[in-house]
Amino acid sequence: MTLRLYNTLTRRIEPFAPLTPGRVSLYTCGPTIYNYAHIGNFRTFLFEDLLRRWLEASGFEVFHIMNLTDVDDRTIAAAAGRGASLRAHVDPFARAFEEDRDWVRVVPPHAQPRATDFIPAMIRLIQVLLDKGVAYRGEDGSVYFAIARFPAYGRLSQLDRRELKAGAGERVSADEYAKEDARDFVLWKAARPEDEAVGAAWDAPFGRGRPGWHIECSAMALELIGRHWGIDVLDIHAGGVDLIFPHHEDEIAQSCAYTGREEFARYWVHGEFLRIDGTKMSKRYGNILTVRDLREQGVEPGAVRLLLFGTHYRQLLEWNDDALAAAREGSARIGAFRDRLEKSLAGDDDPAAAAAAERFRSEFTEALDDDLNAPRGLAALFDLVREGNRLLDGGTRVGPAFAAAWAFADRVLAVAPSARTLTVPAGALPVEREDGIPVRPPEAAPAELADQETWALHWAAVRAAEKRDRNFAEADRIRDVLRRAGWEVRDRRDGSIEVVRVSGSVVAH
């Protein structure tokens, strides 16, 4: 085991060794459920998913915590804006997040704490910080962390010490703020009428109020690793680069001041941003892309994963139509090979097949061990697919060793389509006519999958003919007939037609 990870704390790639051999505690900051998570958020969740999967594939027992932030400045503002209670506003977004997460095949965490379920743990933590004199109650009734009392403050984000001195004694009460605002930050915000109105206020010995965003992660992480393994230091803490300051810096200050430990997490791992068509994704540019948008566009989750893993997690990722088209192509190619492999497995591997499998395993392992180099891992997978096709073309026997190599890659990357995609070139769907009307298959889909494929292709041909005859309403009706049976028909720009099985997937994941 020689996994190496880039640690933001030291700005170096370091060999990974957990505190207890064989066991890894992993905390990843989850979504703020005031709205749908976008593809930029999911880039982070997917790199964390890759980390989790790779740790497990490498033999570690992982305890993974990912929180849901259901109380902070943004959730309260969003609930108040709609005149809803906090809970009523965030609950549907919590469910939507889980749906999106499952769709894009992110393995669910072992614990998914919601901040509002851990208020007592937060209050306990803040009380200890008050008792230790590293926190104080401001004249506004809120409780603040005194960064001057924590000498290691700024270590993670490498804040300049002089900058810090300039800000000492001043306070910031917003959940999010810039590096230039490095000053005492809020642990507990005194209740305002707006908070009371949405049900976001709790009693505490130091006054009625609600937690600051940063304390939430510290309290939930410490509480859960304490319960699970009786520990108070995390092995790995991960998130997007935008969380380094202030969120993670503040998490470290609170947690270490509380536990008295030198570290809150031993490895801090951060993923880079994503840009769409060369622009930062933001409400202002109206280019927010969500996972549900992609799902509605009929994009395969495997293709989304392939696109996101095609750029190393520490590099800026460019999302555009070309990249998506290439990823869909690549994922389909991998899926086609999987289908071929399933049908071709017979007896033992020919030595050539066993050697190809062995070569793949070592290349793939080397790539992922090298700071999760997924682009190189993908290249190894495409080599395996190419080699597998070549061997099968030549009649070489491909057996369990080769299949195991394929399954290993699939378990870690999960970039194959969940669907069966039949691509029909332009004009290649002849259709019989009676009295000028295209002959139709039955409306009900056959039970057997192979028959269903023929049936779906037949309907796709009828639909194409109806479109040529300009019967667009009938073409739309046929699309619905197929959809009800779990098939999606898509007209591609080059004139070809894709008929995709989108539900009741043939190969289980």
List residues near Zn ion by CB under 5 A: 29, 217
Q: Return the closest-CA partner of residue 144 out of 129, 161, 155, 123.
A: 129
Closest approach, Cβ 8 to Zn ion, in A, equals 14
Assign 3-class secondary structure to 271-283: ECCEEECCEECCH
| 29 versus 204: smaller Cβ distance to Zn ion | 29
Closest approach, Cβ 217 to Zn ion, in A, equals 3
| 251 versus 300: smaller Cβ distance to Zn ion | 251
Residue 416 and residue 498 in contact, taking contact as beta carbons nearer than 8 Å: no
For the chain, the residue count is 509
| 38 versus 458: smaller Cβ distance to Zn ion | 38
Cβ neighbors of 410 (< 8 A, separation 6 or more) are 338, 416
Q: CA triplet 65, 70, 73: central angle to 5 degrees?
A: 125
Closest approach, Cβ 247 to Zn ion, in A, equals 5
Torsion of CA 157, 159, 165, 170, to 10 degrees: -40
Angle between helices 249-259 and 213-229 (to 10 degrees): 50
Closest approach, Cβ 111 to Zn ion, in A, equals 14
Closest approach, Cβ 30 to Zn ion, in A, equals 8
Q: CA triplet 268, 274, 279: central angle to 5 degrees?
A: 140
* CA 217 to chain CA mean position, Å: 18
| 113 versus 388: smaller Cβ distance to Zn ion | 113
End-to-end CA gap in the chain = 26
Closest approach, Cβ 29 to Zn ion, in A, equals 3
| 255 versus 311: smaller Cβ distance to Zn ion | 255
| 217 versus 356: smaller Cβ distance to Zn ion | 217
Give the single-character DSSP code of 469: T
| 3 versus 126: smaller Cβ distance to Zn ion | 126
Closest approach, Cβ 254 to Zn ion, in A, equals 11
Closest approach, Cβ 314 to Zn ion, in A, equals 19
Cβ neighbors of 191 (< 8 A, separation 6 or more) are 201, 207, 208, 209, 210
| 123 versus 217: smaller Cβ distance to Zn ion | 217
Closest approach, Cβ 218 to Zn ion, in A, equals 8
| 29 versus 357: smaller Cβ distance to Zn ion | 29
Helix (H, G, I), strand (E, B) or coil at 13: strand
The DSSP string of 142-203 is -EEE-GGG-TTTTTTTT--HHHHHHHTT-EE-SSS--GGG-SEEEEEEEP-HHHHHHT--B-
Instruction: Describe the strand order of the beta sheet including 23-28 as a list of residue ranges.
Output: 61-66, 23-28, 234-240, 265-271
